[in-house]
């Protein structure tokens, strides 16, 4: 047990050192960047963009939705605690309020997590620059502010002071932006999702100082933050679920990445649904869609109501990064259910190792693969010449599915593996089964990490081979009359010797629609009558099991 405690302590210490090293690298990059900031003045307009500052930082009347978002990675100066924070104001009038505010705060070392969503009124919402004064809560007792003004009321270009509070958590921070704003989409304007347009920029690296209070502990902190600003028609409330990430790398590069899911859980391969804007340096920015974001791990929330992706591999060009969510419990449930939390980053850029920190926002959750085995189900003479096929009924571009295929020939008692880790929904199998063998297939469908898994069995069996009279010594003849038929048909057969008899009628989907009682019959002529008054017109099959063999045939009920 002592060894276990030592291991846990060493692991936590390693994570803290890793985070602290990342912050040191990022802050070093910030100091280097801050030495050349001729752009840091108002008014500021970036060549090729549609935005001008400080106007772009203020409120934009007439737009459907607007939000001011920030996340931060901070370290306590007294305790050494690693904190992660997200804070957002939404202008979205509803229920008599001007909008709402979301605040979350994490202790990254212990996993403690606080979150609050509250309605708010904006007593100040300046249009010429960033100055928000919000009264929060149903009764409007909270008071918060986010501004570019100093104590004398003078604008400080790309510098901000903000504060906010919730039960058991608060902050009072000063921001100093050290990198030129990233114009998302290349110009600061793009079309996003189905019909939405958005004006959009990010401030990808900001030096932070101030104080944090969490669960009764108040201390000064330092670190880095990120600001995202959007306004326009793109509205997270309209059902366009997405994955969003901010990535801050130790080599000075920063990325703003989006995957947007349509209502069919697809991520169309277009720049409106998948794009990544990259800050390379103060003179180079670009936006691309030719990246790959593979999801490597999924995790259910503690109450099991949602399953979110928690680990990713991002590749494009010479970039290869592994992104890992720090904690699994950072879920916000209002105004809608989503995951928001910090990430750690490791990988290479141009073959050179990099680290970093990030934030991820996940509005899309995942469900187990729902699979239906299509063929051969109910086939009475399947000989292996056609493939085994199945359908994935709930495809999702964010959840790759793998399949294990097996077969049972002992009435579902045991299954024998045929193939594993398939990615196609069909498989050509050459069976080595005796003619007349009854079998069932089973598919295990699962995500790459097997968190999302589902196992299904054929809804009806198949019979191997084209079993006929010459192959059965027990029966000498079999016929159905009339066939086609209206209200009933009589299936007649003759046995050479006493046998156990079982007959089923199956529809074209392989489902049993009529089962006759099993009985032992003597040698000689016999018949079974199938009355079909309550049965729809169509094609059916009879399947007679005589001893250990099968005879199958086709039946047609007329309209």
Instruction: Look up the CATH number of the domain holding residue 528.
Output: 2.60.40.1930
Phi and psi, residue 189, nearest 5°:
-140, 135
Residue 57 and residue 25 in one domain: yes
What's 133's domain CATH number? 2.40.370.10
d(CA 182, CA 537) in angstroms, rounded, equals 66
Same domain? 393 vs 337: no
Say if residue 541's pLDDT is above 90. no
Give the domain-ending residue among 324, 339, 362: 362
Do residues 403 and 444 share a domain?
A: yes
Give per-residue pLDDT as tens, 367-426.
999 999 988 987 777 888 889 999 999 999 999 999 999 999 998 999 999 999 999 999
Which of 140-149, 347-356, 475-484 has the least mean pLDDT?
475-484
Q: What is the pLDDT of residue 28?
A: 53
Q: Of 463, 494, 524, which residue is a domain's last? A: 463
Q: How many other β-carbons are positioned within 10 Å of the β-carbon of residue 380?
A: 22
- Per-residue pLDDT, averaged over 82-88, amounts to 98
User: Does one domain contain both 454 and 493?
Assistant: no
pLDDT at 552: 74
Q: Is the pLDDT of residue 473 over 50?
A: no
How far apart CA 160 and CA 151 sit, in angstroms, is 11
Please tell me the predicted confidence (pLDDT) of residue 302. Answer: 86
Say whether the peptide bond before residue 482 is cis (omega within 30 degrees of 0). yes
pLDDT tens string 345-358: 999 999 999 999 99
pLDDT for position 18: 52
From 133-147, 210-224, 442-456, 481-495, the region with the lowest mean pLDDT: 481-495
pLDDT at 468: 39
Q: Is 124 helix (H, G, I), strand (E, B) or coil?
A: strand
Q: Is the pLDDT of residue 126 over 90?
A: yes
Instruction: Determine the structural domain holding residue 198 and report its residue range.
Output: 2-362
Average pLDDT over residues 325-333: 93
User: Looking at residue 412, which CATH number applies to its domain?
Assistant: 2.60.40.10
pLDDT reported for residue 244: 98
- Region 180-207: mean pLDDT is 95
Same structural domain for residues 338 and 379?
A: no
Q: Are residues 381 and 515 in the same domain?
A: no
pLDDT exceeds cutoff 70 at 5: no
Q: Does 483 share its domain with 445?
A: no
Query: Average pLDDT, whole number, for the chain?
Result: 89
CB of 75 closer than 8 Å to CB of 108? no
**pLDDT mean over 137-144:** 91
What band does 339 get if pLDDT is binned at 50, 70 and 90?
Answer: very high
Bigger pLDDT: 467 vs 346:
346
Residue 21: pLDDT band by 50, 70, 90 thresholds?
low
How far is Cα of residue 478 from the mean position of the Cα atoms in its chain? 55
Q: Which of 6-10, 20-24, 174-178 has the lowest mean pLDDT?
A: 6-10
Mean pLDDT of 118-142: 95
Q: CA-CA distance, 365 to 367, in Å (whole number)?
A: 7
How far is Cα 258 from Cα 271, in angstroms, rounded to an integer? 10
Contacting residues for 49 by C-beta, under 8 A, at least 6 apart? 183, 187, 188, 201
Domain edge (last residue) among 427, 445, 463: 463
Same domain? 435 vs 495: no
What's the pLDDT score for residue 128?
A: 97
The dihedral region occupied by 291, where left means phi > 0, alpha psi between -120 and 50, and beta the remainder, is: beta
Residue 171 and residue 242 in one domain: yes
Does the pLDDT value for residue 152 go beyond 80?
A: yes
pLDDT score at 33: 47
Q: How confident is the model at residue 22 (pLDDT cuts 50, 70, 90)?
A: low
Question: What is the pLDDT, as a whole number, of residue 26?
Answer: 56
The better pLDDT of the pair 156, 437 is held by 156
Helix (H) or strand (E) holding 324: strand 319-325
How many other CB atoms sit within 10 Å of the CB of residue 425?
Answer: 20
pLDDT at 463 over 90: no
Task: Report whether pLDDT(9) > 50.
Answer: no
Same domain (yes/no): 111, 132: yes
**pLDDT class of 11 with cuts at 50, 70, 90:** very low
The CA distance from 433 to 257, in Å, is 52
423-441: average pLDDT: 91
Q: Tell me which of 246 and 302 has the higher pLDDT.
A: 246
In this structure, what are the phi and psi dihedrals at residue 466, rounded to the nearest 5 degrees? -90, 80
Would you state the pLDDT for residue 176? Answer: 98
**Residues 223/70, Cβ–Cβ less than 8 Å:** no
Q: Identify the weakest region by mean pLDDT among 206-210, 312-316, 485-489.
A: 485-489
* Confidence grade of residue 24 (pLDDT, cut at 50, 70, 90): low
* Cβ atoms of residues 510 and 473 within 8 Å: no
pLDDT at res. 146: 98
Percent residues over pLDDT 90 in the chain: 65
Q: Are residues 267 and 142 in the same domain?
A: yes
pLDDT of amino acid 25: 57
Number of structural domains found in the chain: 3
Q: Do 475 and 453 reside in the same domain of the chain?
A: no
Overall average pLDDT of the 135-148 stretch: 94
Query: Which of the four pLDDT bands, split at 50, 70 and 90, describes residue 497?
Result: confident
Q: Which residue has the higher pLDDT, 359 or 516?
A: 359
User: Which range among 135-139, 362-366, 507-511 shows the weakest confidence by mean pLDDT?
Assistant: 507-511
């Amino acid at each position: 047990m002592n060894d276990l405690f030592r291991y846990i302590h060493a692991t936590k210490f390693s994570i803290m050192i890793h985070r602290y090293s990342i912050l040191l690298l990022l802050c070093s990059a910030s100091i280097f960047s801050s030495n050349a900031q001729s752009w840091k003045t108002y008014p500021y307009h970036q060549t090729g963009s549609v935005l001008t500052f400080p106007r772009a930082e203020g409120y934009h009347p007439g737009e459907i939705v607007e939000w001011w978002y920030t996340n931060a990675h901070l370290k306590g100066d007294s305790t050494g605690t690693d904190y992660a924070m997200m804070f957002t104001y939404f202008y979205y009038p509803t229920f008599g309020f001007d909008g709402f505010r979301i605040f979350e705060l994490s202790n990254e070392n212990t996993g403690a997590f606080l979150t609050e969503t509250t309605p708010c009124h904006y007593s100040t919402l300046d249009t010429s620059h960033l100055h928000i004064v919000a009264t929060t809560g149903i009764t409007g007792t909270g008071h918060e502010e986010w501004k570019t003004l100093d104590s004398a009321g003078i604008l400080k270009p790309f510098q901000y002071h903000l504060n906010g509070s919730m039960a058991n958590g608060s902050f009072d921070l000063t921001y100093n932006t050290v990198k030129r704003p990233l114009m998302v989409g290349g110009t600061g304007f793009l079309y996003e999702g189905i019909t939405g347009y958005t004006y959009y920029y990010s401030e990808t690296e900001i030096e932070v100082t101030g104080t944090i209070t969490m669960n009764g502990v108040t201390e000064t902190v330092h670190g880095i933050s990120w600001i995202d600003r959007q306004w326009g028609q793109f509205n997270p409330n309209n059902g366009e679920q997405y994955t969003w990430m901010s990535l801050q790398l130790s080599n000075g590069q920063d990325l703003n990445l989006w995957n947007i899911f349509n209502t069919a859980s697809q991520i169309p391969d277009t720049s409106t649904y998948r794009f990544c804007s990259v800050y390379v340096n103060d003179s180079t920015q670009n936006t691309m869609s030719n990246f790959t974001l593979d999801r490597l791990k999924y995790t259910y929330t503690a109450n099991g109501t949602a399953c979110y992706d928690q680990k990713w591999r991002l590749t494009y060009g010479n970039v290869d990064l592994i992104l890992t969510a720090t904690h699994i419990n950072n879920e916000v449930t209002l105004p809608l259910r989503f995951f928001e939390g910090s990430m750690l980053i490791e990988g290479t850029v141009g073959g050179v190792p990099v680290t970093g920190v990030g934030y991820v926002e996940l509005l899309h959750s995942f469900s187990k693969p729902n699979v239906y085995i299509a063929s051969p189900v109910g086939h009475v003479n399947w000989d292996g010449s056609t493939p085994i096929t199945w359908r994935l009924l709930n495809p999702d571009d964010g959840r790759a599915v793998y399949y294990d295929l097996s077969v049972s020939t002992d009435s579902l008692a045991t299954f024998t593996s045929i193939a594993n880790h398939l990615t196609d929904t069909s498989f050509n199998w050459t069976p080595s089964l005796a003619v007349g063998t009854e079998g069932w297939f089973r598919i295990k469908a699962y995500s790459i990490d097997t968190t999302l898994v589902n196992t299904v069995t054929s809804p009806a069996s198949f019979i191997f081979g084209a079993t006929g009279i010459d192959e059965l010594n027990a029966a000498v003849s079999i016929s159905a009359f009339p066939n086609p038929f209206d209200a009933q048909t009589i299936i007649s057969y003759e046995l050479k010797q006493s046998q156990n008899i079982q007959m089923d009628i199956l529809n074209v989907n392989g489902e049993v629609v009529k089962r006759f009682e099993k009985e032992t019959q003597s040698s000689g002529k016999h018949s079974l009558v199938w009355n079909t008054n309550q049965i729809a017109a169509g094609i059916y099959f009879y399947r007679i099991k005589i001893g250990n063999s099968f005879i199958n045939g086709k039946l047609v009920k007329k309209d």
